[in-house]
Structure 1
Amino acid sequence: MKLRKTNPTDYDLVKQYIDGNPDSIDILINRHKDRLYTYIYLIVKNHQLTEDLFQDTFIKVIRSLRLGKYQDNGKFLAWVLRIAHNLIIDHFRRVKQNNTFSKDDYELDIFNSAKFSDSNCEDELIKHQIYADIRELVEELPADQKEVVILRHYKGLSFKDIAEQTDVSINTALGRMRYALINMRKIIEERKMSLVS
């Protein structure tokens, strides 16, 4: 079955998939795989776990589409990211319940006990929601500002390295970061967002 449009929207592809065109789900996955993979990896920081959660997310997406659970509001990617986000939280919850003691025969790792765990599930949920909100804010920045924020905060580069990589002076890189923070603050205030855990 062929696609009916040369550049179909997410909505078109979802509709075509529901109408029986299996190719359209492949296009949707390819279209959003990089954003989804990066989103998951930035939270879990483990490639194998990211792969597993990535696959689980699209299995759940396909199942939900088949069951008619997707209501289109022009935000297919946001819906997919929310599914991934919930799967990540489920994973953390399971790990926390199962990993109360070390499996090591020789020494007990007290930091694995529930009593000493970093945070409870609610804290994790709030933390990851804040993280997702910040990532959305970064996506709304102008390209040059977004690039500096990602290189600095997600890739851990120094401003000297950022300047070299983006072929600008250190002052320009610093200026872009300053404007990025100003713009992000502005959006936070306009939307009355709360980024405190």
Structure 2
Amino acid sequence: MNPYSDLTDQELIRLYIAGNNPAFTALVYRHKNRIFTTIVLLVRDRSLAEDIFQEVFIKIVNALQSGHYVDNSRFLAWAVRIAHNACISHFRKANQRQSTIVTYNDDLGDYMEVTEHSQEYRMIRAEVTEEINRMLDRLPGLQREALILRYYADLSYKEMAQTIGISINTALGRVRYALMNLRKQAGVENLVSV
């Protein structure tokens, strides 16, 4: 059993700052899937996402060690903001766009599945995932970004607005229009949910 599993993010951060490195490891494992998924969806390239993911955690370590983290009980939102900014910085430098490839498996998905599913289930899920990726790619960039931050990074609308630098109403609107566009696409293409 992990001795750190019952501790809050803030308790883990305090332990890490006090010199307990395994506490930081526990914090990383707690949030790595959600942060990595967010980066993959934003940059649309898994190998690039791995590089940015490492860069993000280096920035997090530096910020924690230098006292730049404010204990606001929302470590994940803070970390996702750092990840978002790292992705934006990459695009400013590279000024390129690549195709999204996302697979939902144990090392990328948000949750590990306890039971094994039939081959048919896995094939259907892979097809649905591929179709969702195509639908996400057809969304306008700002709507796509808002949807990723809201549902994959699990940010509140307020946190999303702060991360992107927009008003809460704009964040709400972008997510609303993104969902409307996805529903339109799903209706046209008769996508069946699994």
CA gap of 1:9–1:131, structure 2 versus 1, over 3 A, is farther
When normalised by structure 2's length, the TM-score is: 0.53
Task: Give me the whole-angstrom Cα distance separating, in 2, the residues matched to 1:16 and 1:54.
Answer: 23
Give the alignment partner of residue 134 of structure 1, picking from 147, 162, 165: 147
Asked if 1:46 corresponds to 2:77, the answer is no
Give the structure 2 partner of residue 21 of structure 1: 20
Q: Report which structure shows greater RCO (CA 8 Å, sep ≥6).
A: 2
CA RMSD in angstroms comes to: 2.9
CA gap of 1:87–1:137, structure 2 versus 1, over 3 A, is closer
Contiguous gaps of at least 5 residues in structure 1: 100-126, 141-148, 166-197
Code of the aligned partner of 1:26: T
1:7-156 alignment to 2 at 5 Å?
7-96=6-95, 131-138=144-151, 139=154
Shift of 1:77: 0.4
Task: Give me the whole-angstrom Cα distance separating, in 2, the residues matched to 1:89 and 1:160.
Answer: 31
Task: Give me the whole-angstrom Cα distance separating, in 2, the residues matched to 1:26 and 1:50.
Answer: 19
Task: Give me the whole-angstrom Cα distance separating, in 1, the residues matched to 2:65 and 2:36.
Answer: 23
Task: Give me the whole-angstrom Cα distance separating, in 1, the residues matched to 2:24 and 2:5.
Answer: 15
Task: Give me the whole-angstrom Cα distance separating, in 2, the residues matched to 1:159 and 1:65.
Answer: 48
Code of the aligned partner of 2:147: I
CA gap of 1:135–1:19, structure 2 versus 1, over 3 A, is same
Task: Give me the whole-angstrom Cα distance separating, in 2, the residues matched to 1:48 and 1:60.
Answer: 19
SS in 2 for 1:93: helix
CA gap of 1:17–1:159, structure 2 versus 1, over 3 A, is farther
Code of the aligned partner of 1:92: F
CA gap of 1:18–1:95, structure 2 versus 1, over 3 A, is same
Alpha-carbon contact 2:5-2:26 (below 8 Å) kept: no
Asked if 1:161 corresponds to 2:192, the answer is yes
Task: Give me the whole-angstrom Cα distance separating, in 1, the residues matched to 2:67 and 2:49.
Answer: 27
Shift of 1:161: 3.1
Task: Give me the whole-angstrom Cα distance separating, in 2, the residues matched to 1:68 and 1:131.
Answer: 33
Shift of 1:16: 0.5
What is the percent sequence identity of the aligned residues? Answer: 35
SS in 2 for 1:78: helix
Shift of 1:134: 3.2
SS in 2 for 1:161: coil
SS in 2 for 1:56: helix
SS in 2 for 1:43: helix
Q: Could you say which structure has the larger radius of gyration?
A: 1
Task: Give me the whole-angstrom Cα distance separating, in 2, the residues matched to 1:62 and 1:89.
Answer: 20
Shift of 1:160: 4.3
Alpha-carbon contact 2:52-2:83 (below 8 Å) kept: yes
